[in-house]
Amino acid sequence: MMKPPPLEYTIDNIVLGWREEPVSFAREHGYHLIVNSDQRPFNHFVGYQDIKSKWYEDIFDLGMRSLLPVPFDVQTVGLTEEGRLKVVTTGNTKVLICFKKLHIFDLDNCGNIGAEEAVEDYLVHDMFDIVQGSRLGPQIVLRVHDSFVKTVHFVPSNRVDRNSDGAFKDIITTSIISEADIKSFDCSETIIRILLERKFKEHQIKQLNGRSLKIEHSYRQAIKNKFSFKTLPDLDERIVLHEQD
């Protein structure tokens, strides 16, 4: 069976990245965007609510303006010997792009691009289900000091039907974890659960019947937070590396 030929485009300015910064940059300047990761900025919403996220709004706008030339399922990105940008999707679709400027914000799934990415730490969100005692009423936010965990938000639960008033809660913690510790037990979900149970006692957060809350970890999302680029000697002069502010 013959393989289909690659898709070929000529685009003056290309933005490469998936976080909010490159998406906003592409929308603001009217540049084509290649989303080179299936990761997304963290967003929590209750089932009856519309998703209110600048990232999704910007992506929708770019799509309506035909500024998303490649499907989201990008597998690899690199430069060919001829200096064209080569994008391969998980469906093995190949896209070759002649360009004048390549604005790089993220190097996820990239190779042979003339630069490398060094991650310093991660922004980590952990979701905990309150399986007993979730009816807690108003919003509760705890700020944690002297810990890699920074905030504890009691948010409206998605697991409870007819939670239109948001009285039934679950918990989202926000942490900053270094690259060296991201897989360490000392920064694991278990340690965060122990910290939460201690905070419940400290702030007298209990079930309506006075018993302790019972929580279970649901999921974790870790995305790079602080990072930098290391330029290699063969960096193409058409590439613009956008460092973090």
Asked whether the predicted pLDDT for residue 48 surpasses 80, the reply is no
* Predicted local distance difference test score (pLDDT) of residue 59: 95
154 lies in a domain? Answer: yes
Asked whether the predicted pLDDT for residue 50 surpasses 60, the reply is no
* Predicted local distance difference test score (pLDDT) of residue 139: 83
Sign of the CA dihedral with 216 first, then 219, 220, and 221 last: negative
* Predicted local distance difference test score (pLDDT) of residue 4: 74
* Predicted local distance difference test score (pLDDT) of residue 74: 94
* Predicted local distance difference test score (pLDDT) of residue 137: 79
Residues 6+ apart with CB under 8 A from 214: 130, 131, 132, 133
More confident residue, 198 or 160: 198
217 and 233 part of one domain: no
Report the distance separating Cα 156 and Cα 30, nearest Å: 37
15 and 107 part of one domain: yes
More confident residue, 226 or 49: 226
Asked whether the predicted pLDDT for residue 150 surpasses 90, the reply is yes
Report the distance separating Cα 24 and Cα 22, nearest Å: 5
Report the distance separating Cα 126 and Cα 172, nearest Å: 6
108 and 163 part of one domain: no
When pLDDT is cut at 50, 70 and 90, the band that residue 122 belongs to is very high
178 and 96 part of one domain: no
Residues 6+ apart with CB under 8 A from 232: 114, 115, 116
Checking 160-167 for CB contacts under 8 A at 24+ apart, the result is 160/134, 163/46, 164/48, 166/46, 166/139, 167/135, 167/136, 167/137
109 and 125 part of one domain: no
Whole-prediction pTM value? 0.87
21 and 114 part of one domain: yes
Range of the domain at 112: 7-118+228-241
33 and 83 part of one domain: yes
155 and 212 part of one domain: yes
When pLDDT is cut at 50, 70 and 90, the band that residue 90 belongs to is confident
Per cent of the chain over pLDDT 70 is 96
The total of structural domains in the chain comes to 2
84 and 147 part of one domain: no
Question: In this structure, what DSSP letter does residue 181 have?
Answer: G
146 and 208 part of one domain: yes
125 and 58 part of one domain: no
Per cent of the chain over pLDDT 90 is 74
When pLDDT is cut at 50, 70 and 90, the band that residue 71 belongs to is confident
* Predicted local distance difference test score (pLDDT) of residue 164: 73
Q: What is the mean pLDDT of the chain?
A: 92
Asked whether the predicted pLDDT for residue 45 surpasses 80, the reply is no
